[in-house]
A = this chain, B = another copy of it.
Amino acid sequence: MPKRNHDDPALKLDNQLCFAVYSTAHALTRTYKPLLDALNLTYPQYLVMLVLWERDGMTVKAIGQRLHLDSGTLTPLLKRLETAGYVRRQRASDDERQVNIHLTEQGQALYERAHSVPQEILSASGGNARNLLALKQNLLQLRDTLNAAGD
């Protein structure tokens, strides 16, 4: 039985944009890991902290919209952040369906220790801020195109 030829260039791994995004995301997470270990955060937890440092007291829903994550991901993650002492979860009194997430003193204080993280990531990324900014814009455009296509 002759082996079939598999020669569609579109199905070669090295031609897949998606694998480039996927493997770069993992490389970035691995780069963040030692930096975030020092803050006792995982990368998704760090994203939640970034959101809360911009605006404290957001609901789970609002955090999820900002990060494109749902409650199935956020609820246990936020409970771990609460256990770590960085946030407080409080059901809203005016609408008992919602849960507001507030930073604790410790969570506020963590901001000061986070300043060095973006610098180190920039450095590990090669340090060309202009190129990286353009890359970010291109990615966001792709992301928004994909999200618009799948509505």
Contacts and interface: CB of A to CB of B under 8 A. Distances in A.
Interface of A: 3-4, 6, 8, 10-13, 16-32, 43, 47, 50-51, 53-54, 56, 66-68, 108, 111, 114-115, 117-119, 121, 123-126, 131-136, 138-143, 145-147, 149-150
Nearest to A140: B20
Number of copies: 2
Contact of A24 (B10, B31, B67, B140): B140
B28 A146 contact: yes
A39 B122 CA distance: 39
B139 A125 contact: no
Nearest to A52: B6
B118 A146 contact: no
